[in-house]
Amino acid sequence: MLEHYLSARVPPARLLSGAVRRVWRRARARVAPTPPRPADILAGMQAASAEALALQLASPGRALVAYDRVALTRALARHFPGEAERAIRRAEQALAGRVSIFGRQVDIARAGGGIHWQRDPFARSPLFDRTRDAFVLRIRLAGRACAQDEPAVAQTSGRAVDPRAVWAVGRGDHWVALGCAGVAAPEQAARYAEAFVESLRDFASENPLGVGLQWASPMEAALRLVCVGQAHALLAGQRALEDPRYALELAQLAVGTARLVAARLEDDGAVPNNHLVADHVGLLAAAALLPEWPEAPRWRAAGAAGLRREIMAQTHADGTSFEGSVPYHRLAVELFTAGALLARRARVRLGTPYGRRLAWMYSATRSLLFTGGELPQLGDHDSGRVLAFRERPALSAGYLLPLGAAVTGDPTLRLHAGAEDAEEALWTCGAVAVERLLAGEPGPRPGSATFPDGGFHVLRRGGAEVAISCGRNGQAGVGGHSHNDKLAFELRLGGELVVCDPGSPCYTSDPAARAWSGRHRARTRRSSSTAPNRRPSHTAARSRSPTLRGRRASPSRPPGRASASRASTRGTRASAWSTGARSCSTTTGCSSSTGSSARGSTSSSYGGRSRTSRRDCGRSRQTRPGGSRAAGRTPMRRGSTSSARSRWAPPRRRAR
């Protein structure tokens, strides 16, 4: 069924080329890559000795962090009260073997020291057999993440496990936490540096290159390299990082990871998605960390060319991600932002079209955000982070606006004055960028906005906000991370969530619970979904979805960013509420689910395909956005709210 659907949606040439690449990469995955020898590392890096290599790697500008650590420490104390204490507390928890995964604190410490790199921290299952289970996973996941195969792998091993949780442990967010604490508390930096070096060595010894679950997904390997580079740059200059043995092991890990990612690029699917973007980001991270390595120019060129191509293929002209999910838009923005910043470190120009499209993604984020700084839960959810400098709630995305203002140079992207939620901008762009943000004026509040390409619409009136899923499925109609619950909506009144989607409580650990949550969310017929599919959470809908009446975005029009002026919102009020009331006549009220987090939401998977479990969402009754006027045909109007324009900002349009 799915193959017939893909053949009708995807050009035959693309399907054939993807099948050929998939067969070739699966055959190649049977041979694990070999890391370079220490002598090859010294020769390739043009270092006379391991001591010289350690000094070479200590130079600035090799990772996705700001250069001046002293300025970072001062800016934390001046503009971000409490952030230093928060970073230290997070690092101390990491030293104790407790980290936050999917919004829950879990224990990952191994008896006798080290970390359980191959164990699901939620299921407490025994370790994976690196000689059997990991080999099966490597064959089935090499080059792409096959969601339909992962439950079968878990069943063949006889354990109810979730590979996403294992990958979340191995991504290395706790290493970044140690680096941030070293900057926040310079007097404790030596202790954090020693812990980082010891943990990195433990990972290398317990997870040989290409062997084990931690190497099954190239995306995870690529983003792990980003975290390694960030932690190394934040702790550079400490005695532990000057160890010659550590320098050799770091270079071996970086070269081996880049070779594995380059050999197993996840471009063999019918429609490549964010996994391929992460692969290209990892190649740029390797080129920035080891620019002297002979293969670095090839990694740099491949990563830059891939990002230029994918930002046009995986984003719409209205600024939304093509995944068909609002929460996935956050991951896409972080990925393409990381690629832009790493390209600057590697001295590669991505071009004006890339920067313009990235600016439109930030503009779309601004219009999609609810008043509290959270995104609506429409579509699949991904709790993964690329910029793991600070723990954020599952749906929080307000930090993207200061980051976007620093990256694009448009301060009007911000909604609030001051340095609120600008921590990521500080860590990546530096203290000077934060000072520049504070000198600029934030933009006005966004009004109603429509994203016809993405299939999302946000209606605002007074203290009420409604986000509606109404449009075609993601990834060019293949489904992607869209859901079967078209015309579902989320309603907030005065910032409080009133109507929401309860989400799915698990990914692969409990198929029965996941199947129940899928039937609970969408209209069913004989206990089956209206759009049957083989994959556990992807949508393979075959029918045309209804659409809301609105103006379609174009490359010359600001993407989805509605004017906040009275002139532009006057014509949208009748159509916003009345059309929304007609479109959202049936929905599912709030529902309690397992798990909790600081903002009432807990992600239950990682890397991509599960939903967020919600609890304490307010009133659980079915609610319709009120409105007594008849549905009008006045289209939603959009315009620009920017007063200071950047070179990447969309052109102005006069509000009607």
**pLDDT tens digits for 52-109?**
999 999 999 899 999 899 999 999 999 999 999 999 999 999 999 999 988 889 999 9
340 vs 153: which has the higher pLDDT: 340
pLDDT-derived band of residue 432, with 50, 70 and 90 as boundaries? very high
Torsion angles phi and psi, residue 492, rounded to 5: -125, 135
| Residues whose CB falls within 8 Å of the CB of residue 453, separated by 6 or more in sequence, listed in order | 316, 317, 318, 320, 471, 552, 553
Spell out the alpha helix ranges (H) of 455-505.
none
- The sign of the torsion formed by the CA atoms of 524, 452, 611, 534 equals positive
| Residues whose CB falls within 8 Å of the CB of residue 239, separated by 6 or more in sequence, listed in order | 190, 193
C-alpha span between 340 and 348 (Å, rounded): 9
pLDDT of residue 111: 86
Q: Average the pLDDT over 429-457 and give the result.
A: 93
Q: Of 29-38, 219-228, 373-382, 555-564, which range is least confident?
A: 555-564
pLDDT digits (tens, 9 = 90+) for 608-655: 333 333 433 433 333 333 333 333 333 343 333 333 344 444 444 444
pLDDT of residue 645: 41
Q: Average the pLDDT over 331-349 and give the result.
A: 93
Output DSSP code: residue 224: H
Q: How many residues does the chain have?
A: 656
pLDDT of residue 160: 53
Q: What's the burial of 367, exposed, middle or buried (CB within 10 Å: 0-12/13-18/19+)?
A: buried
C-alpha span between 83 and 85 (Å, rounded): 5
Percent of the chain with pLDDT over 90: 49
Complete domains list, the chain, with CATH? 2-314 (1.50.10)
Output DSSP code: residue 474: B
pLDDT digits (tens, 9 = 90+) for 231-275: 999 999 999 999 999 999 999 999 999 999 998 898 876 678 899
C-alpha span between 197 and 213 (Å, rounded): 22
Q: Which amino acid is at 596?
A: S
In angstroms and rounded to an integer, the radius of gyration of the C-alpha atoms of the chain is 24
DSSP bridge pairs for 374: 396
Nearest to 503 by CA among 424, 417, 415, 613: 613
| Residues whose CB falls within 8 Å of the CB of residue 91, separated by 6 or more in sequence, listed in order | 177, 178, 180, 181, 182, 192
Output DSSP code: residue 381: B
CA distances (Å), origin 585, targets 212, 287, 577, 579, 590: 49, 52, 12, 10, 16
